[in-house]
């Protein structure tokens, strides 16, 4: 079961990373933003995309480490906090999008389930 959840979580992270690549293109061609804010958004978007691609990579390629090591648990905590905070931000800073909120909640909860998975050592042996 945790192996399947890691694959699903990794794939969804990969889709979010690709979304950020598209978002970077969209920011770059935006004619409504001044240069300084556009540059800041591009820099933050690149950092976000790299982090999300990293989350996808470790979920897909380092499953045993994700479930059985302290560093893996820290990465899962990072994923949980990133996505749950992003879902909350929909209510405060963005024009509310049910699709974005739901997607972020799903990914945040998936990371949280993996973080709290009770049989980390047994699950790691299966991964």
**pLDDT at position 83:** 96
The 10s digit of each residue's pLDDT in 83-113 is 999 999 999 998 899 999 999 999 999 999 9
Contact between 12 and 52 (Cβ < 8 Å): no
SS (H, E, C) the chain: CHHHHHHHHHHHHHHHHHHHHHHHHHHHHCCCCCHHHHHHHHHHHHHHHHHHHHHHHHHHHCHHHHHHCHHHHHHHHHHHHHHHHHHHHHHHCCCCCHHHHHHHHHHHHHHHHHHCCCCHHHHHHHC
pTM (two decimals) = 0.86
């Amino acid at each position: 079961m945790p192996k399947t959840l890691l694959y699903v979580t990794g794939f969804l992270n990969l889709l979010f990373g690709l979304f950020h690549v598209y978002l970077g293109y969209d920011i770059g061609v935006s004619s409504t933003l001044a240069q300084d804010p556009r540059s800041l958004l591009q820099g933050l978007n690149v950092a976000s995309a790299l982090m999300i691609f990293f989350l996808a990579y470790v979920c897909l390629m380092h499953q045993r480490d994700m479930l059985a090591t302290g560093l893996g648990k820290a990465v899962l905590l990072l994923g949980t906090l990133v996505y749950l905070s992003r879902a909350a931000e929909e209510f405060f800073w963005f024009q509310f999008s049910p699709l974005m909120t739901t997607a972020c909640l799903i990914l945040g909860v998936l990371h949280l389930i993996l973080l709290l998975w009770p049989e980390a050592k047994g699950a790691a042996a299966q991964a």
